[in-house]
Amino acid sequence: MADINVVNESTIKITVGLEDAKAMVQEAAQDVSGYAKDIVTIYEKMPFFDYTDFCFYAYDSAKLFEWMLGTNPRQYHSFSLDAPDSFFYALYGGMGALYETAKASVDEKAASNI
């Protein structure tokens, strides 16, 4: 899983790899409705960030990311993410496989809130 290095009391450095993307996809697949917002957001927005510059916090889509980390980086003032391109591309592909089901779940929730 992810390696989290506490640089100081307000800063962490996170290092992830391909296996972390795989774990995120597997977790999302086990609870598509629970992670539906993250799945849809990651799949729809990642291309705008050229995939590898995607920020999980830009659209409040960090639930799955935080699950993978086992911690909430928001408790620190700043953090950096070191990830190979394969992490982002694998994550995008996995979210793409779950997208239709997740989108239906998001739409259903939105319709029930009307």
Prediction pTM value: 0.90
The chain-wide mean pLDDT, for the chain, equals: 93
Residue 95 · residue 42 · CB < 8 Å = yes
Assess whether pLDDT exceeds 90 at residue 100: yes
Mean pLDDT of 88-111: 96
Count of C-beta atoms within a 10 Å radius of residue 94: 20
- Give residue 69's Cα distance to chain centre: 10
Which carries the bigger pLDDT value, residue 70 or residue 30? 30
Q: What is the pLDDT of residues 66-99, one digit of tens each?
A: 999 988 888 888 889 999 999 999 999 999 999 9
